[in-house]
Amino acid sequence: MFLGVDGGGTKTAFVLIDSEGNIRAEHQEASAYYLEIGFDPLQAMLDRGTEKTLSLAGITERDLRYAFYALPAYGEDSQVTDKFDALPAAFLGQGRFECDNDMISSWAGSMACADGINIICGTGSMAYGRFQNRGARSGGWGELFSDEGSAYWIAREGLNLFSKMSDGRANRGALHELVVRQFSLRADLDLCGHVYSTLGVQRSAVAQLSQIVGEAALLGDTQCKAIFYRAAQELAGMIFAVRRQLNVPDDIIFPVSYSGGVFASGDLLLKPFQDALLSGANKFRLVQPVFSPAIGAAIYAARRSGAPLSQRALDRLKSHFKT
């Protein structure tokens, strides 16, 4: 049995698989972003989610071969890495798990642990890839000065655009009416109270406002469409940077996949992202993700345990994933 945990800024997914490629249990918990919720709530959530997932399969921690916990912000502050690494120990004991950044699960899921680059575009954003046992990342420095193209970034750009539409620096489009309706604004400046006080500038809460920007773009707001275009350019730039770090030869058509909730917007982001990717000097091939990040975490757990899934098991897992 192998447990995969994909932590995110909004939700955390738990998946238990066996060595034959069967999904034995799935469970979902809330955010795993420790900068927003704190370490103690993070540990409580991981313990609760792990116990619930194992119980759904009718097993205990003694039946688990290995677990992989993919957690946002892991490795981005050396002073807390040991705290991250100790989180699952109270429940699972030492030597039966590994923690790392959630970019690993996204890559492992989308590429089925094969060479290639994955771009994450959810609450935050970053690119991670592997080539000939080398790994590299780009982006993902946090919402304050990075996470370009992410849901948070799109929401922030949309809020900025609303302010310009309100005070005359930009022409009013569909976004203005949608924001007024969403927050029942009596005056446009009341948005400040909603964002700074009601939402508390929480990362995940602000990121959800990206959906309003997407809705406005689909209604024909060209300025909102331009935000998604810029997001696509930023994401493609991360891909280019990872390829350079990996020293992938120019003649190789390198696969690129994607994960994260913003890609649920469909062609609004995916089409300009693909155009930006294929317009560069390097050769890329955009492929659909093979598995979800949570399943990616589980198959990576098997790999890290020294018992990687066979091709037959992966094929069986694919049939589960596609259904």
Predicted pLDDT at 322: 54
pLDDT-derived band at 88 (thresholds 50, 70, 90) equals very high
In CATH, what class is 151-219? alpha beta
Given a cut of 70, whether residue 32 has pLDDT beyond it is yes
Structure tokens belonging to residue 143? 């919402």
pLDDT-derived band at 282 (thresholds 50, 70, 90) equals confident
Given a cut of 50, whether residue 167 has pLDDT beyond it is yes
Rounded CA-CA distance 34/10 in Å is 11
Handedness of CA 323, 291, 30, 152 (dihedral sign): negative
Predicted pLDDT at 113: 96
The model carries a pTM of 0.91
pLDDT-derived band at 281 (thresholds 50, 70, 90) equals confident
Predicted pLDDT at 219: 98
CA angle 204, 298, 79 (to 5 degrees): 55
State pLDDT tens for residues 96-127. 999 999 999 999 999 999 999 999 999 899 99
DSSP category for residue 173: -
Rounded CA-CA distance 130/117 in Å is 7
In the chain, list all ranges with CATH 3.30.420.40.
Answer: 2-112+291-322, 151-219
Element (H, E) at 46: helix 39-56
Given a cut of 90, whether residue 75 has pLDDT beyond it is yes
Q: Which own/partner contact pairs does 138-144 have at CB distance under 8 Å and 24+ positions apart?
A: 138/237, 138/238, 138/239, 138/241, 138/242, 138/245, 139/234, 139/238, 139/241, 140/76, 140/103, 141/76, 142/73, 142/76, 143/203, 143/206
The CATH fold assigned to 2-112+291-322 is: Nucleotidyltransferase; domain 5 (3.30.420)
